[in-house]
Structure 1
Amino acid sequence: MNQVLVDQAKITEAELTEAAAADLQDGQVRLKLESFAITTNNVTYAATGFVIGYWKFFSSGVDGKGIVPVWGVARVSESRCEAVPEGARLYGFYPMAEELIIAPEQSTAAVYVDTSSHRADLPLVYNTYVTVRGGSAEEDYKRALLQPLLATSYLLFDWLMDNDWFGAEQIIVGSASSKTGLGLCKFLAEPDSRPYRIVGLTGQRNRDFVEATGACDQVLSYEEIDTLAQVPSVYVDMAGNAAVKKRLHTRLEEHLRHSAAVGTSHWDQFAPPAPDLPGPKPQFFFAPEQVRKRREDWGPGVIEAQITAGWKRISADAGEWLDVVVHEGLEAAVGVYRDIARGRSNPREGHVIRL
């Protein structure tokens, strides 16, 4: 079995290696990956692998090197679990590898949860696998590329709404060219009546792209932070760029009602917030926690249905802002991952590996 290992100390480095395939035990199924997406989200998994625990999902068996999780579709090639027949196709959280063994327990008619002991304490959303019936390869690609990212976008939107927008008159989205950032901007733009303006922050080379989506009321480059209106604001930081964060906090100071840390698309410029950072202390947003809260508020299934409807709604016009690029074979994942980790990606492109 082949797998892609990433250097945990230098996450731009990746290599294709071979590992022995494990024997299947009673209650387990073997899943052969068909396709998966690689985005800046996966680089964030690597950058926060020790802090949040993403390295724990799939053991590499090699000290200092880990397997980055990806979202994709796999087919059951071998089953010793009565609930999951051979040939079934499951969408979910996979290693950047050719196969995965899970111990599925049926949750609903089409949903399974991996009960493997090493995943018992990890968030349920990452341990859940959903049956894929019918559909095209293109639909698989779009789902792997957009569902996890736009699910986070929707949960951010729901969390902001749940907190009455923190009283903000403007919501500033850092790394607005990222798919999660763009998705949030689009969700924020949906209400007919809203008390806030949407400001997208992005690099100068991606400014035209963000403006063309029409998702923001204003688009600024990072060099223009000093022109931000000094009104009650919320900052949703997808980039994790310490210098950008400091400039924005310094510009807004007491006008900044909340500063949310979400992603690390600028992972190489990340640093913990300085003790003397003006304004509120940045707070990490963990999407599974908002899912947990809404399940308690509304009961099981409601927030999940809203997420599904939301990502499908936003992705309906994805052809206007997303070009799907398909690469053949696991070996191609090494180069794609390296390019994205090194900031060489085009915001219009969504990369899929087909095995």
Structure 2
Amino acid sequence: MSVIHQLQNNKRSMEQTRIQTQPMPELKAGEALMRISRLALTTNNVTYAAFGETPHLRYWDFFPTSDAEWFHMPAWGFAEVVESTVEGLAKGERFYGFWPIASHLVMQPVRVSERGFYDGAEHRLALTSAYNQYQRISTDAAYRAESENYQMLLRPLFITSFMLADFLEDNGFFGARQIVISSASSKTAYGTAFCLQDNPTVRLVGLTSPTNSDFVQGLGCYRQTLGYDQLGSLDPSVPTLYVDFSGSTGLRHQIHAHFKGTLVHDCYAGSAQNQDYAELDQTLAGPQPQPYFAPYQIKKRNADWGAAEVTRRFNEAQLAFIARVSDAQQPWMQVNEHAGLEAAQALAESLIKGHINPLAGHAVALD
């Protein structure tokens, strides 16, 4: 193939997309050409795009385009080495990691090891290290060939869920006796609930839209499921921790007003449905929203437990979660496969507009 195909989004209007082509460059010393074969598209990608300019996230900067008004929406998935000038990377090797929605990517692999490599491209050096790491499937203890779709759909979400649950437990739930979780039907939200469901310290309450209530109730990991309009039925005297996956300013104000004096912590875990960011709001009663960022807790636990133990615990939990989500008798997710960049384009536009079925997971095959 003599060109690279790329799906790009407009920075000022994310729902505006285009497919661009550019010449395939000749590899320089220290570079490798990867063919992107399979990607997951979820609301997680919309969150990445929405926070593209946020200083500590900078998702627009991972895969810059030649046009400053357009960006690549990043996605998790798999790619193979097509050509390499780097020792330790063989043609045909398959890697899991963070990619642009595109046919190919030229990378500068560094710190090549049995585990994988890091992209050492200069523009990525100041970006969050966790997103620059690429895992060889041949040495990934949690990799299962038959579960590739579930791995790429759930691992990046579940690492957030797993570390968020650990963060909350690590802080004694800030003294709360119940946790109220918004956008409870989102995969990251119910992944968090899955990790916390057996903890006797707190009671889990899922808030969701009426159309998703039956789905959330059927998950079985929330003690109680309520529609957003039923928030007032909760006892306001109970010390409460709010985990915000919705990003809704209006809901946040309702939570703070209802639990005035008993809201112990407002954890802003990301936006499932819009681009609203939990910025400082002096009109809020109680604690200000505190953004949660998984790499910070990973760094802490790497220091506490060691990286190998963090990986072992995560792999164990991830495999249990995938087994539950993919249970043929009562699946929590049904995977829909799409083929090609045009299909990815239509799907991305749909996700940005909020057309989301909580039962659906979307995998895009680009090869």
| TM-score under structure 1 length normalisation | 0.96
Secondary structure of the equivalent of 1:254?
A: coil
Following the alignment from structure 1 to structure 2, what is the Cα–Cα distance between the partners of residues 217 and 74? 40
* Cross-structure match for 1:324: 335
CA positional deviation for 1:138: 4.3
* Cross-structure match for 2:132: 127
Following the alignment from structure 2 to structure 1, what is the Cα–Cα distance between the partners of residues 263 and 281? 16
Residue 238 (str. 1) matches residue 238 (str. 2)? no
The unaligned stretches of length 5 or more in structure 1 are none
* Cross-structure match for 1:116: 121
Residue 215 (str. 1) matches residue 226 (str. 2)? no
Note the alpha carbon deviations across 1:151-192, whole angstroms, 9 max, x for none.
10000001001101111100111111010001001111034x
CA positional deviation for 1:271: 6.1
* Cross-structure match for 1:339: 350
Secondary structure of the equivalent of 2:282?
A: coil
Following the alignment from structure 1 to structure 2, what is the Cα–Cα distance between the partners of residues 37 and 283? 28
Letter in 2 for 1:344: H
* Cross-structure match for 2:270: 263
CA positional deviation for 1:137: 5.7
Note the alpha carbon deviations across 1:220-266, whole angstroms, 9 max, x for none.
11111122222111111111111111111111121111101111112
Letter in 1 for 2:286: G
* Cross-structure match for 1:48: 51
* Cross-structure match for 2:157: 149
Secondary structure of the equivalent of 2:235?
A: coil
Letter in 2 for 1:36: L
* Cross-structure match for 2:69: 64
| 8 Å contact from structure 2 (residues 51, 275) kept in 1 | no
Note the alpha carbon deviations across 1:72-109, whole angstroms, 9 max, x for none.
00010001101111110000000011111212124541
Root-mean-square deviation (CA), in Å? 1.5
Secondary structure of the equivalent of 1:249?
A: helix
Residue 182 (str. 1) matches residue 190 (str. 2)? yes
CA positional deviation for 1:310: 1.4
| 8 Å contact from structure 1 (residues 176, 210) kept in 2 | yes
The unaligned stretches of length 5 or more in structure 2 are none
CA positional deviation for 1:295: 1.4
Note the alpha carbon deviations across 1:107-163, whole angstroms, 9 max, x for none.
541221111111111122101101113977642111110000011000000100110
Following the alignment from structure 1 to structure 2, what is the Cα–Cα distance between the partners of residues 115 and 301? 23
291-300 vs 84-93, which moves further: 291-300
CA gap of 1:137–1:325, structure 2 versus 1, over 3 A, is: farther
288-297 vs 15-24, which moves further: 15-24
CA positional deviation for 1:268: 4.7
* Cross-structure match for 1:9: 12
Corresponding residue pairs, total: 353
Following the alignment from structure 1 to structure 2, what is the Cα–Cα distance between the partners of residues 63 and 95? 16
* Cross-structure match for 1:276: 283
| TM-score under structure 2 length normalisation | 0.93
Residue 229 (str. 1) matches residue 239 (str. 2)? no
Task: Give structure 1 regions of 4+ aligned residues with deviation exceeding 6 angstroms.
Answer: none
283-292 vs 267-276, which moves further: 267-276
| 8 Å contact from structure 1 (residues 242, 272) kept in 2 | no
Residue 248 (str. 1) matches residue 255 (str. 2)? yes
Following the alignment from structure 2 to structure 1, what is the Cα–Cα distance between the partners of residues 93 and 350? 33
Secondary structure of the equivalent of 1:347?
A: coil
